[in-house]
Amino acid sequence: MTVGPKKELGQHFLVDENILRVIERLAVLAPDDVVLEIGPGRGILTRFLAQRVAFVHAVEIDRTLEPFLPDLENLHVHWGDALALDLSALEPPPRKLVSNLPYNVATPIVVESLDGLPSIAEWCVMVQREVADRFFARPRTKEYGAVSVLVQLATERTGRHPVSREVFRPRPNVDSALVAFRRTELPPGWKRVKRVVEGSFAHRRKTLPNSLELAGVAERSRVEEALATLGRELTSRAEELEPHEFLGLADALA
């Protein structure tokens, strides 16, 4: 049976098994692991994981791929949109997220999993290289943004590996990378922090007082007072603040 990848779903299927050994190393797979895989595609990574861990939850939106996915005792395929399903209710709860993430949902899946999947302690995800660059970008770089701040506030990077375009079919027009990171500790008041971070970068060319006011997070005067408590200039922009400074900003605005 031939089932072609669907561009609207961001599908690029793995075809080179050599990359699986890199995933195994970066994910530090163990026999007692419970793994969540999002976007298993034709199942090349799914089979590899199931042979090495205790249990695999695979989430796939495309039912036409059902004939390609293996029927294994330690594998449960959940059909549906990973961003709509209640993955926090999975049993047994997954400890690791190991996936070749569909390009069009990679960023929201990672960001939402930070607090939405509290059982996940480690991630090893294959994403576009520019997305990988954003996850751990430093302030004052063009890659640095809300995603960078949120990922770095909740995790620390443990590994990275460039991925050739040749390991996929169809061959994508962009480079990819594997990124591994582990949970540190989710800061208290995460929803408030997330709102402030996203509002800060909503109008990144504007100063923080202007951006946060335009985003409806706080009045300009309150933001100016908060920046003063941080020892920051009132003309500061979001890209200038270190990730931990957003915690202070969120607390001051609260």
pLDDT, tens digit, 9 for 90 and up, residues 190-203:
999 999 999 999 99
pLDDT at residue 26 is higher than 60: yes
- The amino acid that residue 77 corresponds to is V
C-alpha–C-alpha distance, residues 124 and 97, integer Å: 6
Check whether residue 176 and residue 201 sit in a common domain: no
Percent helix, strand, coil in the chain, to 5, is: 40, 20, 40
* Segment 72-117, tens digit of pLDDT: 999 999 999 999 999 999 999 999 999 999 888 999 999 999 999 9
Has residue 66 been placed in a domain? Answer: yes
Whose tokens are 């997330």? That residue is: 194
Q: What total of structural domains would you count in the chain?
A: 2
Q: Which of 183, 209, 224 is the last residue of a domain?
A: 183
Phi, psi torsion values for 201, nearest 5 degrees: -95, 0
Residue 217, domain CATH: 1.10.8.100
Residue range 28-57: average pLDDT?
96
Query: Can you give the residue range of the structural domain that contains 90?
Result: 7-183
Check whether residue 167 and residue 116 sit in a common domain: yes
Q: Is the peptide bond before 187 cis (omega within 30 degrees of 0)?
A: no
